[in-house]
Amino acid sequence: MAVVKEDVRRAAGNLQVCAGQQAGGEAAIHAMREIFTQEDCEAVLLVDARNAFNSINRKTMLHNIKIKCPSLATYADNTYSEPSNLYVNRSGSNKARVLESREGTTQGDPVAMAMYALGMSVLQDVIAFEKTKVKQVAYADDLSGAGKLQDLSHCWGLIQANGPTIGYTPNAAKSFLIVKPEHYDGAVSIFSGSGVVVTKEGQRHLGAVIGTEEYKKEYVGEKVSEWVHEVDVLSAMAKTEPHAAYAAYTHGLQHRWNFVMRTIPDISPLFRPLEESLKNTFIPALLRSPVLRNDARALLELPPRLGGMGITSPEKVAEVENLNSINLTRSLTDMIIAQDAQGEIDQSAIAEQKKRFSRDRQQGQKTSLEHLSTILPPDTVRKIHIAQETGASNWLTSLPIRAKGFNLNKQEFVDAVALRYGWPVEGLPNTCVCGSPNNVDHTMTCKKGGFVCIRHDEVSDLTASMLREVCHDVSTEPTLLPLDGELLRYRTANTAPEARVDICARGFWTRGQRTFLDIRIFDPMAASHRELSLEAVHHRNELEKIRAYGDRILQVDHGTFTPLVFTTSGGMAPKARSFYSRLADLMSVKKHQPRSSVAAWMRCRLSFSLLRSALLCLRGTRYSTPSNTDICDLDCEATLVESGIRVDRLGIE
C-alpha cells in the first residue's frame, strides 16, 4: 500500500477522505461545520448505507480502479476478478457449504478502504456540486452533504436511484437531516415520506457532532461521563496493579478523547469532571498518596523526558488540540468547502506544520517546567533534572511485560515514583543497621548488606552479556598486566599488581584491540554531589576513572579504556552514552534489526536493572536473621531416618 499511496490519494480526490489524506476525517468534520454555519446553508444531510463494504459492486469498482488508479489495478484484478469461496459449516454435519463471494471487499484486506473509495467515486460524480448545488464529502460509506433543502432532496433522490447500482444502498432510517431551526417545518414537508430522520437539535458526525450548542454539550457530556467511569475502573485496578494501570492510561485510555478534543470546538470546560476524576481518584490510587497539590499535578502533566509522567490534563489541552487540528487541515478543508475534488495539497507544508506544532508544544512544556522550577523545593527540582537524563525514564515508558522482566509490583512502582521525585517513602526505619540515621539518600549508598555491590554487578553482568553478542574474548574482572617500572602520568593511577577492571572485550572500538570497561554508579543526591551540576558530577566521576586506569591500560596493556558512569536512577554520562550507542550499532548489524529498536531495548534493560537495584537498596534486609539451626555438620540421611521423612513424598528430583 505504501507504494501506491500517493496514486490512490490523487485518484480518490479531496472529496473522499478515507484514501490517504492527512487527517481526512478531521477535515471533513471541520468543513461540514463551517458550511453549516454559512447563511445560504439550510441543512446538512448525513447518509448511511446498508452493509456497505460487503455490497459494493465489484465490476464497477474494478473498472473505476483501472481508469483512475492503474498502479492499483493489477492487485485489485488479481484479488477480486474471480469470486472467492466462503465456507459455512452446518451444525451437526462434517460437510461445509461453499458460498461464492461475488460482491464487496474481503475483510482484513489492507487496501479495502482504498478500493472502496475509488468504487464510490461514481456515485460522488453523480451528485457533484455542479449537478446538485450540494457541497458533499465522504469518509468511505459515510456520505454527507450541505446546502438548501430542495437541493438536498434532489441529491437524496439521486443517491436512491444510482446508489444501488454500484452496491451503495442508502438506509433512510439511519440517515439524518440536520436543519437550522428556522427551516425545520419546510424540511419536514420536503422530506416527508423519504424515511430520513429530520432534526433541528443535532446529530453525531464521524465521531464529532453537528447541531446546536445544547446538543454539543449533551453529546460531550455523555462521552465525558463514559470516560470518567473508565477512569474509575482503572483507578480500582491501580490499587493492585499500578504499573499496568499507568501503562493502560498513557498508552491507551487518554487517547480516547483526543479525537473529540480535536474536532469539537469550545469544549474545554466540559472536561472538568474528567480532570477532577484524574486528580482526585486515579492519581491518588496510582501513587498511594493523598490528592496532589496543583504544582505536583502540573509536574505529572509533563512528558517523561522532561521529568513528568505524561498524565495530561484534558481540560488544559482541549482548545490547543482543536486549533492545531483546524490549522493542520486548513488546506483540505478549504478544498472541500470549494468542492475542488482534484486540487493539489502541499504535503510538505503539512509536514512543516506538524513540526511547528511539535515545537510549540515542546516550548510550552519547557515554559511550564521553568515556572515549576521557581516554586518547587530545590531537592525536587534536582530530582526532575536527574529524571530528564537519557535512560532515566525508560522503566516508566515501557509496557509492563512480565515475560520480559519489565513489570513492577504495587510496592515497587510506588517506591520507584517516590524515588523519581524525592517524595516521602513509607516504612523506612529511622536508624540503619550500620548505625547511621536512615533516609532514602543513605539507603542508596550504604554498603551494609552488599547491595551496592549487587547493583554494580547487575550492570556489569548485563553489559558483558550484550558484548558477547558482538565481540570475541569477553571476560569479566580481568587482571591488568603488572607494572615493571613504567611511569604513569597521574598520581591517582591504580598501580596495584592485581589491579582489575570490570569488563574486557576484543574488537569493540578497533578491530583486534582490547577494550577495558569499568563501571561506577553514584547517587547524585549525595552530599558530595548535591551542590554540583549533573554535567559536572558526571565529568568528575569519568575523570576519576580515567586517571585511575586510562594511562595504565594505554601504555601497558595497549588497549583502550572507557568508563561507564551511571546515576542510581539510570542516567548515563557522555562516554557511557557513546559506548552503548556503538554497542547498539553493532547489535543491530549482527541481529539484522532496526537500530532504534535495539537501542530502546538496551536502554530499557539497563533502566530496569538499575531501578531494581535501587529498590533493593531501599527495601532490602541489611542483616541476617539469627538462626538456631547449625547445618555445618548436618547429616541429612540420619535426619531423614530419625524424623521419619518419606523421600517419595518430597517431590524433588
Alpha carbon distance 527, 106 (integer Å): 67
Grid cell at residue 437: 540515621
Alpha carbon distance 231, 233 (integer Å): 5
The candidate with the shortest Cα–Cα distance to 618, out of 483, 438, 456, is 438
Q: Chain-centre distance of CA 2, in angstroms?
A: 23
Do 135 and 34 contact (CB within 8 A), yes or no? no
Alpha carbon distance 206, 219 (integer Å): 13
Alpha carbon distance 9, 12 (integer Å): 5
Q: What single string gives the DSSP state of each residue in 411-452?
A: HHHHHHHHHHHT---TT--SB-TTSSBP-HHHHHH--TTSHH
Query: Is 8 strand, coil or helix?
Result: helix
Alpha carbon distance 343, 459 (integer Å): 58
| Inter-residue long-range contacts of 493-501, CB under 8 Å, 24+ positions, other chains counted | 493/547, 493/548, 493/549, 493/551, 493/552, 494/548, 494/549, 494/552, 495/552, 499/549, 499/552, 501/477, 501/549, 501/553, 501/561
Grid cell at residue 577: 552514552
Radius of gyration for the alpha carbons in the chain, expressed in angstroms and rounded: 33
Domain 5-211 has CATH 3.30.70.270: yes
Digit-coded pLDDT (tens) for 422-471: 888 888 888 877 778 888 888 888 887 778 888 888 899 999 999 998 88
Which residues of the chain fall short of a pLDDT of 70?
Answer: 1-2, 92, 621-653
Strand ranges in 500-625 using DSSP code E only, listed in sequence order = 503-506, 514-522, 560-567
- Which pairing describes strands 208-211 and 202-205: parallel, antiparallel, or unpaired? antiparallel
Alpha-carbon dihedral sign for residues 178, 179, 184, 188: negative
The candidate with the shortest Cα–Cα distance to 264, out of 234, 220, 302, is 220
Residue 629 has what pLDDT? 45
Alpha carbon distance 410, 226 (integer Å): 27
Instruction: Read off φ and ψ for residue 14, nearest 5 degrees.
Output: -90, -5
Quick count: other Cβ atoms within 10 Å of Cβ 135? Answer: 22
- Which pairing describes strands 560-567 and 503-506: parallel, antiparallel, or unpaired? unpaired
Alpha helices in 127-212 (DSSP H): 129-132, 149-162, 184-190
Q: What single string gives the DSSP state of each residue in 66-128?
A: HHH-HHHHHHHHHHHSSPEEEEEEPTT-SPEEEEEE-SSPPTT-TTHHHHHHHHHHHHHHHT-
Query: Is 250 strand, coil or helix?
Result: helix
Contacts of 183 (CB under 8 A, 6+ apart): 42, 43, 149
Residues facing 65 on adjacent strands: none
Query: Is 543 strand, coil or helix?
Result: helix
Do 114 and 12 contact (CB within 8 A), yes or no? yes
Q: Sort residue 307 into left (φ over 0), alpha (ψ -120 to 50) or beta.
A: left
- Which pairing describes strands 514-522 and 560-567: parallel, antiparallel, or unpaired? parallel
Alpha carbon distance 18, 12 (integer Å): 9
Do 478 and 500 contact (CB within 8 A), yes or no? yes
Contacts of 59 (CB under 8 A, 6+ apart): none
Grid cell at residue 492: 591517582
Residue 652 has what pLDDT? 41
Grid cell at residue 46: 448525513
Q: SS3 sequence, 549-564? A: HHHHHHHHHCCEEEEE
Grid cell at residue 30: 471541520
Alpha carbon distance 554, 560 (integer Å): 6
Alpha carbon distance 146, 133 (integer Å): 9
Beta-carbon-side half-sphere exposure of residue 50 (alpha carbons within 13 Å):
10
The single residue listed with the C-alpha cell 470518567 is 228
Alpha carbon distance 156, 143 (integer Å): 11
- 284's enclosing H/E stretch is helix 283-287
Do 200 and 179 contact (CB within 8 A), yes or no? yes
The candidate with the shortest Cα–Cα distance to 444, out of 467, 425, 472, is 425
Which amino acid would we find at residue 122? Answer: V
Do 605 and 649 contact (CB within 8 A), yes or no? no
Q: What single string gives the DSSP state of each residue in 441-496?
A: HHHHH--TTSHHHHHHHHHHHHHHHHHTTT-EEEEESPBPPPPSSPPPS-TTS---
Total-model pTM: 0.84
Residue 135 has what pLDDT? 93
Residue 565 has what pLDDT? 93
Determine the length of the chain.
Answer: 653
Domain edges within the chain:
5-211, 216-395, 441-619
Angle 456-461-466 (CA atoms, 0-180°, nearest 5)? Answer: 130
Alpha carbon distance 278, 280 (integer Å): 6
